[in-house]
Amino acid sequence: MEIQTLQIIAAASVAKGLAEGSIHPTNFPLSESSSTKILKDLFRLTFTNYSPDLYSHLCEMLKVSKVDHKGYWLCDNSIRLFRAQNLKSLTLGRFDWLVSHMSRNTYGETKFEDLYHKEMIMKKPTDIVRVLEHVLNEDSQKNLMHLNMDTEVYETRRMFSRNWVTPITHMLPQLQSLSIYNRILTAEDFQVICSGFPNLRSLNISGTRLNNLSGISQLKYLEVLSIGNLKLGSAMDLIDIFNLPMLKVLNMSCELSCRKTCCNRVQFMQFLECNRMMPELLSLDVSFNILPNQWLPKVMERCPKLKQVAVVGETPVLTRGIEIISGHDLKSINRALKHYLTMENRPMILELLDLATEILEDASEDEIPLVPSDIQDCAEIVCRINDIYQSDYPIHHKSAPTLSFLLKNRCSNKPKVLRYLRFICNFYLDNDYFTEFFPKFEYIFEAIGDQELMRDTTLDFNQFYSIAYRILALSTEEEDWKIPCIAFIERVGLRKLDKNEYRLINKTTLLGSLRAIGRSEQYLEIYRNAAERIQAFVTRTFP
């Protein structure tokens, strides 16, 4: 079990006190490390709701050179706070709330689709130049070395205003790392990146819909390149990457892409057709690509220093001297999750959580035995991911069924898994606009309501009792995902809640939900009767 350091515990306590108002922010000195940890915890505590006065105090109190705002909503007040820092690294989150930084559509009738062929929103693209001018003070603009402006998972507004790259090349002369994963990038803007950022060491343009990489050879110092999910027509459209003399890491993975026959995912085959050498390449990721026969010997011949190949989603080929990262069984998925966690590759983590859930679900339903140590390792790494990406709704959305099936497969660290499931439940109940998550409550309560599991007296199931009521009170409808909550309350036994728990439950909606389930003919009589008993108890005891 991982033990948190005193600094992490103290930072979380200070952040909570600042958010609740029990600690008054004064101008006392903090180390950069402490400031960074406090700021990250403040992001998790609904940062955008804080008063402007608190932001003013925080501008004086916190001093950081790195801001990672991934997964959170950017607002005018957080922009003020970031501007007060001297930044060398900036990862921006969601732009949806920055209405003041949106511009009119300058793309005309041009249409773009996401990786699942859904038409993207073209109205009011983000004026990213203006955003950066406001986020970064003069010193930060001069010294910034890392900039990440990836799209959020499930985000539909991915457009920046036209011709956004040129002003940024003048604004950020020291930039060495740029990531614009899944943003739309025009051919003109790509050419400006190649000519305007000569010091780039790392570039992520995966999912940008580019159809030609000519000109990329101008980036002579590039060591890390991600070019998955592009729209290349032939091998000639990517041949210029072979003129990058220092390239060590090449990522062509097609994660989060459409797997249907309409998408060929042939980018790696185009790579092979080039028949060129990459003498310095150490790591290659071709996950979710179509792999032809005898592909690995060809790659090894052209990349003599190659040490690592990732082939998640495809059948692994074992070769002496090459580390193969795959996802064909639970053990390999655990290794892959650790790898991509180190690489901070969130899209691949989401893909692997789906693969882990599929294996665990099959094992649970078909009684397929899994190696206990693999189940234990999976539980540890998924809990760690939820800790690192705390309050990251796509991560919690994907990992909830994974953790649920780990319980069903009798993982040994059940208290830890239950703790993270409780956090996920409360996170989505506190942010109930994420309605897409609601059906996942069924996975969770089917797992924790298992009769054999509930006989374990070392586990505390009472912590989920009030949560079950809150889930039932989310709407007055008779949704299927509520039924396991009914069964769970019956098994735990009816009891009164405390005052704080009552405050979180809408009694009117709760009664409407129970009434609808009790009257519905689509459910078994045992559940209808249970709903009626709980309804009578709520009517009698709830304030």
- Give the mean pLDDT per block of 10 residues along the chain (543 residues): 61 74 67 81 66 76 88 82 94 78 60 62 80 95 96 67 93 97 91 97 93 96 95 93 98 78 75 95 94 91 96 86 94 97 91 96 88 96 91 89 94 93 92 85 95 90 94 89 95 91 93 94 93 95 91
Q: Beginning with the edge strand found earlier in the chain, give each strand of the sheet holding 323-325 in spatial order.
A: 66-68, 89-91, 146-148, 177-179, 202-204, 224-226, 249-251, 283-285, 308-310, 323-325
Calpha distance 510→500 (Å, rounded): 17
Among residues 313, 309, 285, 289, which one has the least CA distance to residue 297? 309
d(CA 388, CA 420): 12
Q: What is d(CA 175, CA 147) in angstroms, rounded to the nearest whole number?
A: 8
Domain 211-326 fold = 3.80.10
pLDDT at 266: 83
Q: Which of 348, 40, 54, 99 is nearest to 207 (CA)?
A: 348
The span from the CA of 225 to the CA of 281, in Å, is 11
**446: Cβ contacts below 8 Å, ≥ 6 apart:** 404, 408, 484
Q: Residue 353 class from Cβ within 10 Å (0-12 exposed, 13-18 middle, 19+ buried)?
A: buried
SS (H, E, C) 446-476: HHHCCHHHHCCCCCCCHHHHHHHHHHHCCCC
Distance between CA atoms of residues 481 and 488, nearest Å: 12
Beta carbons of 408 and 360 less than 8 angstroms apart: yes
pTM of the model: 0.88
Quote the radius of gyration of the chain (alpha carbons, Å). Answer: 25
Q: How many helices (H) and strands (E) does the chain have?
A: 22, 10
- Residue 521: is it exposed, middle or buried by C-beta count within 10 angstroms (0-12/13-18/19+)? exposed
- How far apart CA 14 and CA 10 sit, in angstroms, is 6
- From the number of C-beta atoms within 10 Å of its C-beta (0-12, 13-18, 19+), residue 517 rates as buried
Taking 3-state DSSP, the helix, strand and coil percentages for the chain, each rounded to the nearest 5, stand at 50, 5, 45
**DSSP state for residue 4 in the 8-state scheme:** P
DSSP code, position 237: G
Q: Rounded to an integer, what distance in angstroms lies between the CA atom of residue 223 and that of residue 61? A: 37
> Which residues, including other chains, have CB under 8 Å from residue 336's CB and lie 6 or more apart?
310, 312, 325, 326, 327, 348, 352
Q: Where are the domains of the chain?
A: 1-55, 65-186, 211-326, 349-541
